[in-house]
Amino acid sequence: MAIIFINPRVLYFVVVVLLCGGHAHGKGRAATVYGVTEYGAAPSNRDNKDAFLAAWRAACDSTAGNPTLHFPKGTFAVGAVAFEGPCRNGGGAPVVVIDGVLRPCAGGRGCRLSDDAWITFSGLNNLLVTGDGTLDGHGAGSDDRIKSKSKTTTLVLDGVTNSTLRGLAFVNSRGFHVNIRRCSRVVAEGLGIHALERSRNTDGVHVGLSSHIRVLDSVIGTGDDCVSVGPGSVDVLVNGVICGPGHGLSVGSLGKEEGEQDVQGLIIKNCTVKGTTNGVRIKTWPGSPPSRASNITFQDITMDDVANPIIIDQRYCPHDHCADANKPSQVQISDVTFERIEGTSSSRVAVQLLCSEERACTGVRLDGINLSCGDQPCRSVFSNVRETPGSGSGSVVAPAPSPALAPAARAPVEEFAVAR
């Protein structure tokens, strides 16, 4: 009994998609809109899950052209909810337009947040999630009465292909804001993600077990990594992200579990990192089991007041209780390029490449690094780094280094005993 209406905003949206040559949605036909309020949702503190799922079911099962699930303006509470495919429309998922604010419900009868995910889209192809709305995780910062230690991810895309997440705002997640896992060909773009600097594990966008992922033109400031690229990521491009505060743009952490899939083919470019603890980073746990991370390029990055602008850390142990703290990592890092990285470091050590004693980093290239460290010369620290496989241990070459890095360039091997 879908009440079908044509919303001018949605028509506009269809036209925009057409002009942008975007996804298979919007062939110029009017969208059939399934508004959540038509299925009983209301702006309130009670759990709107059943209404949301009824509207989703109708849109997902629709055989009409361009079905659209619409969340209108207003603040809607909802517990953990999963929008699952497959859908009927030739395998294509509905367009999801969120113009309102979604919030977790305040607990109590039947309203639960899972520890894993708050809002999930799974098993879908050709999904577009967009709108002017906000997903407010209501975590640290929004309400000090929340003492929850939960690490609930605000939005999970799981097993989603050929899809786009565009233009939404995310605030104060309790865990990661967006997690893209087991996905292929997903674009996340134009996102605004904000959480307090002191809120733990609030990564902006996390990618894992996924291939052909694009994270573009977004502004991200949280209490953890702005973007983190985890195990099993292949062909990931991060372009045009403005990051800070937080822990920077990271590959990892890798090697936490046995049997992790390799990471390969990452490009992180044209980004600005401001006021963060790290700039561009690769991190693996001490004692981590074997896996590989290779073909990784960081390019055209501007650092503004960043504590560790360029860092490979193969003894990553954030809260200092790692069982294998003294064992070397067995994650092999190779073919990593840091190119045209400029700006300011807030510490004296601008470059730290601290690789595993057992698996030296190979094929590491630093080119066009121009960082300043206040009124003191910058230092760089290298251990177990080889420019090319088979070359003498510990050599790294930084062609055309900036004056700031000259000491390291004149003495290509500048190894310090690493006090940790």
Ligand X SMILES: *[C@@H]1O[C@H](CO)[C@@H](O)[C@H](O)[C@H]1NC(C)=O
User: How many C-beta atoms lie closer than 10 Å to residue 1's C-beta?
Assistant: 5
For ligand X, the closer CB: 2 or 408: 408
Element spanning 350, H or E = strand 349-354
Please return the burial class of 337, using the count of CB atoms within 10 Å of its CB with bins 0-12, 13-18 and 19+: middle
Among 37, 89, 120, 125, binds ligand X (CB under 6 A): 125
Nearer to ligand X, 185 or 327 (CB): 185
The H or E element that residue 292 is part of is strand 291-306
Catalytic residue, chosen from 212, 247, 319, 321, is 247
Max CA distance (Å), the chain: 75
Cβ proximity of 55 and 41 under 8 Å = yes
Q: Does 235 bind ligand X (CB under 6 A)?
A: yes
Provide the minimum distance between the beta carbon of 404 and ligand X in the complex, in angstroms, as a whole number.
8
Could you tell me the smallest distance in angstroms from the CB atom of residue 89 to ligand X? 12
Task: List the beta bridge partners of residue 344.
Answer: 372
Identity of the residue numbered 91: G
For residues 38 and 83, give the distance between their C-alpha atoms in angstroms, rounded to a whole number.
18
Tell the residue number behind the tokens 């083919």, with chain if given.
265
Nearest distance from C-beta of residue 335 to ligand X, angstroms: 7
Minimal distance in Å, beta carbon 157 to ligand X? 14
Closer to ligand X by Cβ: residue 125 or 284: 125
Residues 127-186 that bind ligand X (CB under 6 A): 161-162, 185
The amino acid at 56? W
Nearer to ligand X, 354 or 405 (CB): 405
Site string for ligand X, 261-300 (x = CB under 6 A): ----x-x--x------------------------x-----
Q: Which of 148, 150, 239, 337: binder of ligand X (CB under 6 A)? A: 239
Which one, of 153, 204, 167, 163, lies nearest residue 183 by Cα? 163
Question: Nearest Cα to 136, choosing from 128, 127, 126, 146?
Answer: 146
Total binding residues for ligand X by CB under 6 A? 16
Judged by CB under 6 A, the chain residues 332 through 371 that form the site for ligand X are: 342, 370
Determine which residue in the list 43, 107, 240, 287 makes contact with ligand X, applying CB under 6 A: 240
Site pattern 193..232 for ligand X (x: CB under 6 A):
------------------------x---------------
Query: What count of residues does the chain have?
Result: 420
Minimum CB separation from ligand X for residue 146, in Å? 32
Please give the C-alpha separations between residue 142 and each of 59, 136, 138, 194, in angstroms, as whole numbers: 33, 9, 5, 11
Window 375-404: residues binding ligand X (CB under 6 A): 402
Q: Which stretch binds ligand X (CB under 6 A): 110-118, 200-208, 235-243, 252-260?
A: 235-243
Are the C-beta atoms of residues 255 and 286 closer than 8 Å to each other? Answer: no
| Residue 281 Cβ vs ligand X, minimum distance, rounded to whole Å | 18
| From 242, 322, 349, 397, residue interacting with ligand X (rule: CB under 6 A) | 242
Beta-carbon count within 10 A of 212 CB: 16
By beta-carbon proximity to ligand X, the closer residue of 265 and 394 is 265
Binding flag, residue 74, ligand X (CB under 6 A): no
CB of 357 to ligand X, least distance (A): 27
Residues 175 to 194 in contact with ligand X, rule: CB under 6 A: 185
Question: What is the C-alpha separation between 339 and 278, in angstroms, rounded?
Answer: 16
Q: Minimal CA–CA distance to 159: which of 45, 82, 250, 103?
A: 82
Nearer to ligand X, 318 or 389 (CB): 389
Tell me, yes or no, if 247 is annotated catalytic. Answer: yes
**Span of 50-58, 129-137, 239-247, 249-257 interacting with ligand X by CB under 6 A:** 239-247
- Give the torsion through C-alpha atoms of 60, 63, 65, 66, to 10 deg: 0
H-only helix segments in 222-367: none
CB of residue 78 to ligand X, shortest distance in Å = 28
Residue type, 338: F
161 vs 164 by CB, closer to ligand X: 161
Angle at 107 between CA 103 and CA 113, to 5 degrees: 65
Closest to ligand X by CB, 33 vs 378, is: 378
Residues that bind ligand X (CB under 6 A): 125, 161-162, 185, 217, 235, 239-240, 242, 265, 267, 270, 295, 342, 370, 402
Residue numbers annotated as active site: 247
